[in-house]
């Protein structure tokens, strides 16, 4: 078999393993997932997994890298806004909610929230790759909003977590309480931004 075909096959197998891992982690939780189950679901021998991944943690990290990191990377790559800071945050947060709430990404975030405390290495990795980048980007936007006079509460820059709080609430609420009280995450975001930026004037 030519080397290029072999490389393609290896990539396909790796993708199948990652896909199977996502289903197993989401279905069983991080602690209960076994490499045997992932191998079975991916249709490969358990040994094949070790050709691609050192252990369960590195497989989970790869998932986060593929599925969640690009969403945050888009935030850090945003150009300085030509319009208002609020418009930029609204557009990004709106997309974030669409891409995360009710999707596999949301399931992964919930898994980290639920099991991260018992697996510090997983939480550390997630903090480094996702949270710290997101917070830094949000802080930059808040500081720009303060400098432009769009945001009056100057202490907000010390707590960028407040800006992303609705997204976290929505992710957790969706899985736990949506059947009791459905949440309109986009509308909650609008109200939240009104609190920070002041209500939009309707002309």
- The DSSP code sequence of 14-37 is HHHHHHHHHHHHHHH-TTT--HHH
Q: At what angle do helices 185-197 and 161-176 cross, to 10 degrees?
A: 160
CA distances from 13 to 9, 10, 72, 191 (A): 6, 5, 27, 45
CA gyration radius, the chain:
20
pLDDT at 101: 85
DSSP 111: H
pLDDT at 1: 66
Q: Residues with Cβ < 8 Å from 153, sequence gap 6 or more? A: 196
Per-residue pLDDT of the chain (203 residues; tens, 9 = 90+): 677 888 888 889 999 999 999 999 999 999 999 999 999 999 999 999 999 999 999 999 999 999 999 888 887 777 777 889 999 898 888 888 888 888 889 899 999 999 999 999 999 999 999 999 999 999 999 999 999 999 999 999 999 999 989 988 998 898 889 999 999 999 999 999 999 999 887 65
């Amino acid at each position: 078999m030519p080397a290029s075909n072999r490389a393609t096959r290896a990539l396909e197998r790796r993708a199948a393993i990652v896909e199977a891992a996502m289903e197993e982690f989401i279905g069983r939780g991080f602690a209960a997932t076994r490499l045997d189950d992932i191998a079975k679901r991916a249709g490969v021998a358990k040994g094949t997994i070790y050709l691609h991944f050192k252990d369960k943690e590195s497989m989970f990290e790869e998932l986060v890298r593929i599925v969640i990191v690009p969403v945050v990377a888009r935030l850090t790559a945003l150009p300085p806004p030509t319009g208002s800071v609020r418009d930029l945050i609204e557009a990004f947060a709106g997309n974030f909610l669409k891409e995360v709430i009710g999707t596999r990404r949301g399931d992964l975030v919930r898994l980290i929230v639920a099991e991260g405390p018992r697996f510090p290495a997983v939480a550390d990795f997630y903090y480094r790759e996702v949270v710290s980048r997101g917070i830094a980007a949000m802080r930059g936007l808040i500081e720009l909003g303060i400098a432009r006079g769009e945001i009056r509460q100057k202490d907000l820059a010390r707590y960028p977590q407040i800006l992303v709080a609705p997204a976290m609430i929505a992710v957790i609420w969706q899985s736990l309480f949506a059947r009791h009280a459905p949440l309109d995450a986009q509308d909650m975001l609008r109200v939240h931004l009104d609190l920070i930026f002041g209500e939009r004037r309707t002309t």
